[in-house]
Structures are given as C-alpha cells and as structure tokens.
Structure 1
Amino acid sequence: MVRFLKRNGLTIVLMAMFAASLVGQWLTGWRVALQDLRRHGEPGIGLISYLSDPAFISTVFENWESEFLQMAVYVVLTAYLFQHGSSESKDPDAPERDVLPSKEQDAPPLARRAGPLAWLYAHSLGLVLALLFMAAFVLHWVFSAKQAAQEAAEHGQVAQGVLAYLADPQLWFESFQNWQSEFLSTAVLVVLSIVLRQKNSPESKPVAAPDGKTGA
C-alpha cells in the first residue's frame, strides 16, 4: 500500500482536492440558492435535490469546459510553438524528440507502427482533451439553457429553445470569463518559469539552470 501511494500520490492528492472542492461548491451553492429562494418568497430546495438543479450543473461543467480547453490548447501549442528560456517549452534548437515509427523495443505497439491508428495514438492526448472540452461545453450549454428557461418561466416570459440559446450572450459570457483566465494563467506560468524555480518540480528548470535554458 505504501508503494502504491508513493507511486500514485500526485493523482490521489489532486483527485482528493477536486472532490473536496466539488463538495464545497455543492454545499455553498445550495446555501446561496436557499437565500435566493427566500428573497423571492419561494419554498426552499433540499440538499440532494440541488444536485439536479440546472444552475449547479451548469456551473460545474462551465468550469470543467475551461480547464479542458486550457489543457488541450496547451498540449497542442507546445508541440509547435516555443518560448526561449521557459521550462514549459521545447528547445527550438534540440533535435526532433519523436521519430515515428519508433524502433525502441519497449515502445507501445502503436508507436512502432505507421498508418491512421499510429497517427491517432501519436496525437491521442490532445484529441481526448479536445473531446472532453467539447463534451463539457455541450453540457454547460444544455444546462445553462435549462436554467435560463426556468428563469424565463418565473418571470412569465417565453423560454428559448436549447438550440436558440447557443446564440445567447449569457452562454458566451459564462464561457469567455473562464477562458480568458485560463489562457492568462498559462501564459504567466510559461513566462515565470524563465526566471523562477521550484526545487524538485518537473514543471521547473533545475534551480541552478541558467535563465536561457529552455525546457525542463
């Protein structure tokens, strides 16, 4: 068990932090919803019932959408673009790292082949992250539309259909406010890694490395 925890500690801690944050969002979001309902003289909503509230589900996937977009864009852009001195960039003067098909005996089988399946494998990380982004965006869109429909009904207005809501500024306001922060934080990390260090982190250059060293 100790060996397992040591080998998988990063994922375990990150997933524990994710779970704690999601529960925190659920509990605090429920309290906010209760306060809003009381202000409007409406009956409260149960804690479990709040899990199916479109407003809660929409905000969950709104956040996931921006994170998967950030990771997908970052993975793909770092394959083609460079930043001199950054640990987050490849060295533009270094030889090509991935020569495919690989001749290494311990390489995964698909890395030793050519053809469409080998191409998909060679680009699988970016593709899967892009698919996760699209799935999260669709779920954010659908549940944000349901939330808007509920609010329209409460005010005696005609609700938009889900497809029509795709053109609603509210949906894109929710998305852009998250996307811009993700791109900013990524750019800041790329630039700060030129001159700053984090001892023993693979995301940082060695502490004694010169600022001009590119790549970790």
Structure 2
Amino acid sequence: MRRFLRENSLGLVFGALFLIVLVGQAFAGHADYNQQQVAAGMEPISLGRYLTSASFGVDVAENWQSEYLQFFLYIWLTVWLVQKGSPESKELGKEGPESDRDQKAGAFATDASPRWAHLGGLRGSLFANSLGLVMGTLFVLSWLTQSIAGTAAFNEERLRDLQEPVTWAQYLTEPDFWNRTLQNWQSELLAVASMVILSIYLRQRGSPESKPVGSSDEATGVEG
C-alpha cells in the first residue's frame, strides 16, 4: 500500500483536492443560491435539491469545459508550434508528429510499448492520437452539459420574471451563455500562455514543469 501511494501520489492528491473543492463549492453555492431565493421572497431549498439543480450543474460544467478546452488545444498545438526557451515546448526543429522511430511506434515499438503502439492502420492511428481525441471529446460533452444546464437555469430566472422560456438553440445566442463561456476560456488561455512564457526565465527546482536551475534561458524542451 505504501508503495502504491508513493507511486501514485500526484494523481491521488489532485483527486482528493478536487473532491474537497467540489464539496466546498456545493456548500458555498447552496448558501449563495438560498440568499438569492430569500432576497427574491422565495423559500430556500435543501442541499440535496440544490445538488440536482440546473444552477449547480451549469456552475460545475462551465469550469470543466474550459479546462478540457485548455488541454485539448495545448496537446494539439504543441505538436506543431514551439516556444524557444520553454520546457513546455518540444525542441526546435521537431515540429510535427515525428517519425515512427522517434515515437517508438509500429516497427520501432519495444517490448515495453503498449500493445496498440505496435499496430498500424486505423487502430494505430487512433492510439497515436488518443489523448487529444479524448480531451476533445470531454470538452464537447462538458460544453453540451453546460449549455443544457445553462438553458434550464436561464429559464428558471425568466419564469421568475414572468418571461417566456427559451429553447436550447435560442440560449446559445444569449449573452448569458457566452459571458459564462468566454470568461472561463480567457482565464485558461492566459494561464497556459503565462506558464509557457514564464518557464523560459523562471525555475522551480525538482519540477518536471521547469528547466534545471542552471539551464540556459534559450534551452528548449528540457525538463528538470
């Protein structure tokens, strides 16, 4: 067990932190929602009812979809684009999907390679691009979840104001939807850009996200 915890500590800690923060969001969101209910002269709702509400669903999904968009774009763009001096970039001159020899794929796969790395054709291509495809799929699914939950939450507010509800397609043209969406996208893209640029000049000893302390600022694709 001790070995398992040590070898999987990064994933386990982030998973635990995710659950802690999600629970905190649930309680804080519930309190905020009930404050708005009371201010509007309506009855507060239970925590259980809040957790199944469109309001909670859209708040969670709008953050998930922006995170998966960030990783999807980062995975695909770093195949072709480089940043001189950043450990977040591939080495200069290695733009593109690289050869099978470089990627240890197909005939160049080793005994330790995953089984699908030995394959060619469609299955080999799918495995070779599986990380980006899954991240893109998760982005689309979470975006759809946000838009559907957002439509329900938006219509709840409209009904309180004695206004006609809108359809899902109509909600996609509403400023409320794009305000929720774009404010998350811009923050994620800024975070990635900051990491790429700051890692050129700054260091974090022992982190694989940083270059070694003594590496040149121009060293590219080198991790500590």
TM-score by length of 2: 0.93
Q: Helix, strand or coil for the counterpart of 2:8? A: helix
RMSD: 1.3
Quick check: 1:98 aligned with 2:103?
Answer: yes
In structure 2, the partner of 1:159 is 165
Task: Output the TM-score relative to the length of structure 1.
Answer: 0.96
Equivalent residue for 1:203, pick from 182, 199, 209? 209
Q: Distance in 2 between matches of 1:185 and 1:14?
A: 18
- 2:51 corresponds to 1:51: yes
CA displacement, residues 117-143 of structure 1 (integer Å, 9 cap, x when unaligned): 100100000000000000000000000
| 2: CA distance, partners of 1:80 / 1:109 | 26
Residues in 2 aligned to 1:55 and 1:94: alpha-carbon distance in whole angstroms? 46
Instruction: State the distance in 1 between where 2:181 and 2:89 align.
Output: 27
In 2, the alpha carbon distance for the partners of 1:129 and 1:94 equals 23
Alignment partner for residue 170 of structure 1, among 171, 176, 181? 176
Cα deviation code 1:47-82 (max 9, x no counterpart): 111101111110100000000000110011111110
- Aligned-partner Cα distance in 2 for 1:61–1:74: 20
Unpaired stretches in structure 1, ≥5 consecutive residues: none
**Conservation of the 8 A alpha-carbon contact between 2:116 and 2:127:** yes
CA contact (8 A) 2:69 2:139 kept: yes
The CA deviation at 1:105 is 2.5
Structure 2 runs not aligned, ≥5 long: none
1:212 aligns with 2:218: yes
The answer as to 2:9 corresponding to 1:3 is no
Deviation of residue 178 (structure 1)? 0.3
Query: Quick one: which of 125, 130, 136 aligns to 2:131?
Result: 125
Q: Provide the aligned length of Structure 1 versus Structure 2.
A: 216
The alignment status of 1:184 with 2:184, answered yes or no, reads no
2:38 corresponds to: 38
**For 2:183 and 2:5, how far apart are their aligned partners in 1?**
37
Aligned equivalents of 2:115, 2:42: Cα separation in 1? 60
- In 1, the alpha carbon distance for the partners of 2:120 and 2:159 equals 56
CA distance, structure 2, for counterparts of residue 106 and residue 45 of structure 1: 55
